[in-house]
């Protein structure tokens, strides 16, 4: 356990130090980040050439003659020279944009908290969705039903040879099912920005619940990890202990909603339990393997959320700000946001590793 903690914390510390240095080094000078004083701004509007000695002398003479306080105006001139030197590398409009797009650290922190909350909800929903969908796919596989296309063709053949209303209805039902399945599959693989743009006119695509929904169903997150879980279940079901359990008369009826089979309630439950069924053991072992992929899944979910926020230009969200800070070359703030995101991934990795360690200890294999 100490080793796990040391590994993750040292990594987080090193990256924090590096990005912290970037944050400090890339931070604009205090004078530059602070708003330009009104007096200097007015002086800038006169479009004076600070390099011209004649203009400088004329300015100082006028200040002395009109106000009698030459020291104050000399200081103001020096400030003007400093400001213009700082702005030398940037055009006026670029600087204005750069400064206007800077966000204070507390504002970024609030965005960060919002991002974490959204991430946690998406993670929890995906965790549940992956196990439910994966188990459902596994049950469908075990039921050994013929492919839908085959069933459709079979019903069509029967309808042609013996036209009956019942057969036509069955054919229609299979056709609709196939269509819905194809649409659902395409939806699960569609990148979030395509879904969001296609329904932008009818829904508020910038709301948090919509973002959560997109985070769960789009970008292939749910289907990819459900499929992984399904393969864990499949590999587990081929192991010797499962065959032994079946030989010893443990229930292995994989039909859904039958007396001896699996109930919908068990399948859809938050904590899935299948007492007296061989699936209980297959599921427990597959879930243990799935824990290890949670780290990868976390990074994938974060990638998905970043894509959603950036691609949809959702103002006031962390990823949109990251893109804006990169665009206006505020690299200090960009480094700070990246550090925050890195720490979320690291925290997830740490929690996952600790959970695996705990589970291994419980099973006595540590």
Establish if 323 lies at the interface with another protein (CB under 8 A).
yes
DSSP assigned state of 28? P
Residue number with CB closer to another protein (18 or 117): 18
Least Cβ distance, residue 310 to another protein (angstroms): 4
Establish if 147 lies at the interface with another protein (CB under 8 A).
yes
Window contacting another protein (CB under 8 A); options: 168-176, 208-216, 257-265, 298-306? 298-306
Establish if 103 lies at the interface with another protein (CB under 8 A).
no
Which ranges in 145-239 belong to alpha helices (H)?
Answer: 148-161, 165-189, 192-198, 208-217, 221-237
Question: What count of other Cβ atoms lies within 10 Å of the Cβ of residue 244?
Answer: 11
The Cα–Cα gap between 258 and 251 comes to: 12
Q: Which of 48, 76, 213, 345 contacts another protein by CB under 8 A?
A: 345
Q: Which of 33, 78, 94, 360 contacts another protein by CB under 8 A?
A: 94
Establish if 291 lies at the interface with another protein (CB under 8 A).
no
**3 state DSSP class of 10:** helix
Establish if 307 lies at the interface with another protein (CB under 8 A).
yes
Establish if 186 lies at the interface with another protein (CB under 8 A).
yes
The Cα–Cα gap between 285 and 274 comes to: 13
Least Cβ distance, residue 135 to another protein (angstroms): 17
Establish if 272 lies at the interface with another protein (CB under 8 A).
no
Least Cβ distance, residue 78 to another protein (angstroms): 30
Q: What six digits make up the tokens of 161? A: 């040879």
The Cα–Cα gap between 45 and 63 comes to: 17
In angstroms, what CA-CA distances link 159 with 109, 145, 163, 166, 177?
64, 21, 5, 9, 18
DSSP assigned state of 274? -
Helix axes 70-86, 38-45, angle to 10 degrees: 80
Establish if 276 lies at the interface with another protein (CB under 8 A).
no
Residues near another protein (CB under 8 A) = 7, 11, 14-15, 94, 97, 146-147, 149-150, 153-154, 156-157, 160-161, 185-186, 189-191, 193-194, 197-202, 219-220, 223-224, 227, 231, 234-235, 238, 295, 299-300, 302-303, 306-307, 310-311, 313, 322-323, 326-328, 338, 341-342, 345-346, 349
């Amino acid at each position: 356990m100490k080793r796990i903690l040391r590994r993750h914390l040292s990594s987080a510390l090193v990256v924090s130090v590096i990005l912290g240095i970037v944050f400090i080094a890339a931070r604009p000078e205090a004078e530059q980040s602070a708003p330009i004083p009104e007096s200097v701004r007015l002086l800038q509007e006169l479009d004076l050439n600070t390099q011209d000695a004649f203009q400088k002398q004329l300015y100082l003479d006028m200040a002395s003659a009109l106000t009698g306080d030459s020291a104050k105006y000399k200081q103001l001139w020096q400030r003007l020279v400093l400001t213009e030197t700082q702005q030398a590398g940037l055009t006026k409009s670029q600087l204005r944009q750069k400064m206007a797009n800077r966000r204070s650290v507390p504002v970024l922190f609030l965005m960060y908290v919002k991002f974490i909350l959204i991430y946690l909800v998406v993670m929890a929903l995906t965790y549940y969705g992956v196990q439910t969908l994966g188990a459902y796919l596994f049950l469908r596989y075990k039921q050994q039903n013929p492919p839908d296309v085959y069933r459709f063709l079979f019903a069509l053949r029967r309808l042609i040879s013996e036209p009956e209303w019942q057969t036509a209805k069955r054919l229609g039902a299979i056709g609709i099912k196939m269509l819905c399945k194809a649409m659902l599959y395409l939806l699960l693989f569609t990148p979030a920005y395509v879904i969001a743009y296609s329904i932008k006119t009818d829904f508020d695509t910038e709301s948090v619940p919509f973002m959560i929904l997109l985070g769960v169903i789009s970008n292939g997150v749910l289907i990819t990890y459900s499929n992984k879980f399904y393969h864990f279940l499949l590999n587990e079901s081929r192991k010797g202990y499962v065959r032994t359990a079946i030989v010893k008369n443990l229930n292995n009826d994989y039909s859904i909603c039958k007396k001896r089979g699996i109930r919908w309630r068990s399948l859809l439950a938050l904590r899935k339990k299948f007492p007296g069924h061989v699936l209980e053991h297959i599921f427990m072992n597959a879930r243990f393997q799935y824990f290890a992929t949670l780290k990868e899944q976390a990074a994938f979910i974060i990638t998905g959320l970043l894509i959603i926020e950036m691609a949809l230009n959702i103002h006031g969200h962390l990823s949109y700000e990251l893109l804006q800070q990169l665009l206006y070359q505020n690299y200090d703030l960009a480094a700070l946001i990246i550090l925050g995101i890195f720490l979320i991934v690291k925290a997830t990795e740490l929690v996952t590793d600790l959970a695996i360690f705990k589970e291994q200890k419980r099973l006595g294999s540590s």
